């Protein structure tokens, strides 16, 4: 039995934890049901050579849209990973224009100037539910149509279909992140809209079938993750606000 939703756990043994089967997000249930119906139809007609592959496809769809519970570390300085996947890029860049310009809402965007961008690449085997890196108010959700290049490429941040989200904490700090479609991904599905209040680690959307998420850390903050490291959405502490540690790792 896994931890109950909303249960408080800590590093001194409080709470109960155990493994359980992850649920399937409603966004994926319709695809699984359609594939299951097709497989059942093939089986009814005794077309076993088609029924078995489609049956395996049902399992693949269920695995892709799995939505496991996560335990999000609580702390005013923590920025948690918004995606499961592999850290493939860490570099200094300007925030996306859409997160900086005046959008007419009366709420300022991110400040201009170089910040650290951490890119997390999600393969088709990763969980594709994305989560809020910090708690706060959603200030912007900006969808931009584009290409479908390999999401692992640097230029995918500027050319692929993408969706920018800006969250403002209670102290005014703004964290921006971008969901980017890839070669196979063909739809970014948002769960939030401007004005929504979020907790750190809360589900904010998903990208179907392989993609990437970029996180723009605030100025003066460097990541606590390494190139090539695997992150867990809502659990891995990506950075601590105002901290700039040099952390080295060894691939082994």
251 token code pair: 């691939």
211 counts as catalytic = yes
Helices 26-44 and 48-64, packing angle to 10 deg: 170
DSSP string, the chain: --PPTT----TTS-S-----PPEE-HHHHHHHHHHHHHHHHHHHTT-HHHHHHHHHHHHHHHHHTEE----PPP-TTEEE-SSSEEEEEEEEEPPPHHHHS--SSSS--PPSS-EEEEEEEE-TTS--EEE-SS-EEEEEEEEE--B---TTSTTHHHHB-EEEEEEE-TTS-EEEEEEEE-SS---EEE---TT-EE-TT-EEEEESSSEEEEEEPPTT--BSS-TT-EE-TTTSEEEETT----------
Separation between Cα atoms, residue 9 and residue 71, nearest integer Å: 8
Task: Please give the Cα distance from 166 to 216 (Å, whole number).
Answer: 10
What phi, psi does 184 have (nearest 5°)?
Answer: -95, -35
The one catalytic residue among 5, 77, 123, 211: 211
Q: Which residues are identified as catalytic? A: 211
């Amino acid at each position: 039995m896994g931890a109950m939703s909303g249960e408080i756990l800590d590093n001194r043994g409080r709470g109960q934890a155990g493994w359980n089967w992850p649920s399937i997000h409603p966004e994926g249930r319709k695809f699984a049901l359609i594939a299951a119906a097709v497989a059942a139809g093939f089986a009814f007609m005794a077309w076993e050579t088609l029924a078995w592959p489609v049956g395996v496809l049902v399992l693949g769809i269920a695995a892709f849209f799995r939505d496991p519970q996560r335990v999000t570390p609580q702390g005013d300085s923590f920025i948690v990973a918004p995606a499961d996947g592999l850290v493939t890029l860490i570099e200094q860049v300007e925030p996306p224009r859409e997160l900086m310009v005046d959008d007419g809402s009366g709420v300022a965007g991110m400040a201009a100037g170089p910040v650290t961008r951490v890119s997390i690449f999600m393969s088709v085997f990763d969980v594709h539910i994305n989560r809020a890196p910090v708690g706060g108010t959603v200030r912007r959700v900006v969808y931009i149509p584009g290409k479908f290049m390999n999401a692992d490429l640097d230029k995918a941040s500027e050319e692929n279909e993408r969706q920018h989200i800006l969250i403002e904490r209670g102290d005014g700090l703004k964290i921006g992140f971008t969901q980017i479609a890839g070669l196979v991904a063909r739809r970014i599905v948002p769960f939030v809209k401007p004005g929504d209040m979020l907790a750190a680690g809360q589900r904010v959307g998903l990208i179907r079938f392989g993609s990437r998420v970029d996180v723009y850390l605030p100025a003066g903050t460097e990541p606590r993750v390494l190139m090539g490291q695997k992150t867990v959405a809502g659990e891995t502490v990506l950075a601590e606000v105002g901290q700039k540690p040099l952390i080295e790792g060894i691939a082994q």
